[in-house]
Amino acid sequence: MLYFKNPEQALPVFKALSSEVRLKILNIISENEGKNLNEIAQMLSLTNSAISTHINKLLEADLIEIHSVSGTRGSMKICKPKHNNLIVELQPSITQENCYHQDIRIGHYTACQVKPTCGLATVNGLIGEFDDPRYFYFAQRFEASVLWFSSGYIEYNIPNDLKAGERLVELQLSFEISSEAPGFQDVYPSDIYFSVNDVPLGYWVSPGDYGSKRGRFNPSWYPDGNNQYGLLKMLIVNKNGTFIDGSTKISDTTIDDLHIDYSHPITLRFSNPEDTRNPGGFTIFGAGFGNHNQSIKAKLLYE
């Protein structure tokens, strides 16, 4: 997901999307899970040099990525889409200066209750053994960059940088997440619930546990049979309610309902109850894993 706080930040993307040809290229590589440059040129009846110009514009805007793979006549370049969502705030009410940023590592949770299938790992290897919840309490878990379980919850404390006189008006949280199936299943829905300070924020249904192709940032030791990557999601709580990916409202819980001032802790919980309609667990990917190479990112916007 690409997220821009104002239209000025998104200007390179707007320029890249202003071409009908480039829009067609994005459609082609999205529908076909990637194509090489020759195939794209043939499908659009354009020369290779013309296609290269358009491809460079999409690369500059960070909308696509190119991988070199072996072909029948040497290596070839495969174009793939890099993001599944684009969000641009057209009427930003808070300047970026009125914002505190925090990165929370995947292993820095403060409480958990997990059931197998489960596990956690650093970029160097598995912590303990597969499907043994005991290892979620070992000291090595602070170095974890990925974790998964089939049901339960996990909690993180978000540092509260607010000072006296500053009022929280929006909380933004972004993270890479997927379902957790035994092995992997690309179609495996899971209801993932969110709460802050025990106030329910709603839930999002993860479509699946993605494992048919490796995550871009997964270390070489990470098994192919594990789920490989998730979807980058953004959870936003403001005066209008709680939203996923900027526009989809998941509850009427507002920022005022959280009662957070400079003296209050901020506790974020992810959960997947066993009695929900889709008890499919979840995996949270951090830096060094998945497709987005990031920890849990938090922004506190204030007045």
Residue 303: per-residue pLDDT: 95
**Residue 200: other Cβ atoms inside 10 A:** 16
What is the predicted pLDDT for the residue at 92? 56
Domain 93-302 classified CATH 2.60.120.260?
Answer: yes
**pLDDT at residue 177, as a whole number:** 98
pLDDT at 81 (0 to 100): 86
The confidence score (pLDDT) of residue 212 equals 86
Contacts for 114-118: CB closer than 8 Å, 24+ residues apart:
114/149, 114/151, 114/152, 114/154, 115/149, 115/150, 115/151, 115/152, 115/274, 116/149, 116/150, 117/148, 117/149, 117/150, 117/180, 117/182, 117/281, 118/147, 118/148, 118/149, 118/150, 118/180
Residue whose tokens read 């997220």 = 3
In the chain, CATH 2.60.120.260 covers 93-302
The hierarchical CATH code for the domain 2-81 is 1.10.10.10
- Stretch(es) of the chain classified as CATH 1.10.10.10: 2-81
Q: Is 139 left (phi over 0), alpha (psi -120 to 50) or beta?
A: alpha
Q: Global pTM?
A: 0.77
Helix, strand, coil share (%) of the chain residues, nearest 5: 15, 40, 45
Weakly modelled stretches of the chain, pLDDT under 70: 5, 71-74, 91-96
Output the pLDDT for position 71. 64
Phi, psi of 142 (to 5 degrees): -65, -20
